[in-house]
Amino acid sequence: MESKQQEEKMNLNYTPAFRINRYTFRVKRSAILPYVFSIIFLFSGKSFAQQGANVVAPVIDTGFYTSFDNTKIYFEKHGSGDPVLLLHGFMGNSSGWKRGDLYKQLLDQGFEVILIDLRGNGRSDHPHREEAFANDAECRDIMGLMDFLKIKSYDLIGYSRGSIIAARVLRNDPRVHKAVIGGMGAAFTDTSWKLPKALYESLIHSPAPEFEGMKSYVRKQKLDSVSLAYMQKQQPFTSPEDLGKIKQPVLLIRGDVDSTNGSAPALQALIPHSIYITVPGNHNETSGTKPFADQVIAFLKQ
């Protein structure tokens, strides 16, 4: 009885547990509590592991292309039709999309689906140099891949950290026809956003108690903590001024109980030709659901 009371007293210092795939995390309350729940966006999401079935589609092309700094980038092309590039979130990889509903619907609707493992993730190279993630390296990887595949126009879909990279591509590649920014608010437009620096410090040095669950996930999944740390330290920001220059149609979409990463209505106000909608779900689950896929497909087909 005494042991149980001690355990309950200890747990008062923690937020309610949340699950990522098979793992349960508790986040310790601290001064960074207002934004620490943004850590949820780092992971691939429960929906990718539990919702939808793997889709078998012909692989038109698969392999590696060598980027501007000799980093090898893994990609796949599935189906045929108008190209759509999918960008995964932090600590994820391209295979996660295959377990969600959007991948299946894109193929069923006659799109060509392009998947990429962003540098430091999945089967792509994992540089252990900070400069390898600086100066829009991921954006340059994507534009180089489009050159390599000889693609003249494509739609772009990002989710979570993939949306941060999508914003950079939108500003730099005129070949983007339409874009979807999922699971993201306006936090990445502010250079004072504390989360990337806090994650870098935790990944590259001793973890703060708030991020011990994340470090445990990294160890269990055998992820590359050094590459992950540097991609957080060199997290790209897109200024409100740059967002105001985007000319392409943009869909901002988020789960109705997703409050991570700043205000989505505030982000919509910064992007001229954007619309904002919500669908049922939280940050981890939304991108794998049918309502999310339905709205994205409707937007792309307009």
Q: What predicted TM-score, i.e. pTM, was given to this entire model?
A: 0.83
Q: In the numeric block, which tokens belong to residue 28?
A: 């310790």
Helix axes 290-301, 101-108, angle to 10 degrees: 40
List the pLDDT tens digit at each of the 302 positions of the chain. Answer: 444 444 333 333 333 333 333 333 344 444 344 344 444 344 433 333 333 445 455 556 789 999 999 999 999 999 999 999 999 999 999 999 999 999 999 999 999 999 999 999 999 999 999 999 999 999 999 999 999 999 999 999 999 999 999 999 999 999 999 999 999 999 999 999 999 999 999 999 877 788 888 889 999 999 999 999 999 999 999 999 999 999 999 999 999 999 999 999 999 999 999 999 999 999 999 999 999 999 999 999 99
Indicate the DSSP class of residue 241.
H
What would the 3-class secondary structure string for 30-80 be? CCCHHHHHHHHHHCCCHHHHHCCCCCCCCEEEEEEEECCCCCEEEEEEECC
Domain ranges of the chain: 2-301
Residue 40 corresponds to which amino acid? I
Distance CA 134, CA 70 (A): 15
- CATH match for 2-301 among 3.40.50.1820, 3.30.70.140, 2.60.120.10, 1.20.120.1690: 3.40.50.1820
Task: Provide Rg for the chain, Cα atoms.
Answer: 19
Q: In the numeric block, which tokens belong to residue 259?
A: 């409050």
**Among all chains, which residue has been given the structure tokens 């989505």?**
264
